[in-house]
Amino acid sequence: MRIGILFVILVIKCFGSVASFALDTTIKKKFPYALLTPDYGILSEVDLKKNEENALPVPFSESSRAYLYWQCFPTLQFKFLCDETGDFDHDLSLARTIIRIAHGDKYDEYETRRAFSIRLCKNRVEKWKKMSHGETYACIAGKYVGREVGTKNKAASGNGWIYDRFKTKKGCDSYFEDDCK
């Protein structure tokens, strides 16, 4: 009886993995440019289709600045930051909201379109941390804005992005309201 139960669990796990892989392959074929990395079963067809609402799909290049691209990374590589700008709005200190993904001596850095009050920035960072807690991978979408090359003071080089959406298996967050529906 125990062997039978173990066999059923094993079959379910195997078919679950195959189904995830098949979905990933299907999405990748239908939207060949929207996903730059594997999605680890986090993204859906709706997520990738959303990218085509405001720009024509094009392969990623240094000059493709309008189309949104998704990338997925291990959550341990993510760092969520509030970088104070030194500016104020109605006596509220402002901060840039940043997601930085480090991989070796390279990084990808996603920044929101505008600065927020420190309180709002910290709330968003807390939300991203909760969404990432206990997850192995997270995905992020954005528009490419350029490459930053390392200098004497900054050894790493990386890519700059405008933040659009962040997603884990726990949920989704977007810069624009209702973009995760």
Phi and psi angles of residue 29, each rounded to the nearest 5 degrees, phi first: -70, -40
Tokens of 129: 């941390």
Q: Mind listing the pLDDT tens digit for each residue in 13-44?
A: 333 443 344 456 777 788 899 999 999 999 99
Is pTM beyond 0.85? Reply is: no
| pLDDT tens digits along 126-146 | 999 999 999 999 999 999 999
End-to-end CA distance of the chain: 44
Residue ranges of the alpha helices (H) in 36-158?
45-50, 118-132
Opening angle at CA 115, ends 136 and 120, nearest 5: 65
Percent of the chain with pLDDT over 90: 56
Over residues 100-114, the pLDDT tens digits come to 999 888 899 999 999
Exposed/middle/buried for residue 156 (C-beta within 10 Å: 0-12, 13-18, 19+) = middle
